[in-house]
């Protein structure tokens, strides 16, 4: 599919194709469908990110909370979206030692207790070791800093997912 194809398709097809770019949040794609045509994948990405930034804190937090824990229960029960499963696998998170799993569980629990949402990182741009180093650093942030960081990471994830969809 191309950007031109997306510009011409029916609104419901646009949302079906672009919706998964943001984890379990097709409302973001639905919010930009009437802004077509998009000149490029980058302009589409910018429009999607603008919707998120203008959405208000409640919707932003819902978007962050739509993401699974890294190496969490969703992985154990195979409940990840196809996109998340590929991304976690690319980071080397699907074949961990018991010690690694324990560290991730501990960090995920501490992070969620401190901030009220899951730790979000662009797994395709990081490997297991980098992710494990990021947890303690990010645990020192304020909640506002972590909301901003999580959204930035989500935008990076979305850009990569769009690149997969639209060459």
Residue 67 annotated as catalytic: yes
Contacts (Cβ under 8 Å, ≥6 apart) of 10: none
Tell me the CB-side half-sphere exposure of residue 21, using CA atoms within 13 A.
Answer: 30
Cα–Cα dist 139/146, whole Å: 9
Sort 106 into a burial class: Cβ within 10 Å, 0-12 / 13-18 / 19+.
exposed
Picking from 81, 140, 70, 82, the residue whose alpha carbon sits closest to that of residue 108 is 70
Which one from 24, 45, 67, 141 is the annotated catalytic residue?
A: 67
- Catalytic residue numbers, as ranges: 67
């Amino acid at each position: 599919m191309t950007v031109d194809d997306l510009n011409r398709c029916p609104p419901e097809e646009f949302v079906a194709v672009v919706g998964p770019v943001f984890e379990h949040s097709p409302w973001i794609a639905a919010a930009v469908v009437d802004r077509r045509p998009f000149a490029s994948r980058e302009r589409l990405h910018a429009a999607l990110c603008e919707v998120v930034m203008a959405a208000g804190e409640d919707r932003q937090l819902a978007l962050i909370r739509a993401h699974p824990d890294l190496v969490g229960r969703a992985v154990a029960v195979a409940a990840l979206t196809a996109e998340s499963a590929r991304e976690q696998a690319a980071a080397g998170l699907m074949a961990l030692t018991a010690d690694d799993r324990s560290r991730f569980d501990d960090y995920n629990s501490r992070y969620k207790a401190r901030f009220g949402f899951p730790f979000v990182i662009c797994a395709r741009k990081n490997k297991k070791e980098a992710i494990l180093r990021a947890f303690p650093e990010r645990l020192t942030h304020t909640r506002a800093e972590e909301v901003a960081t999580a959204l930035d990471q989500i935008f990076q994830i979305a850009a990569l997912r769009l690149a997969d969809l639209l060459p």
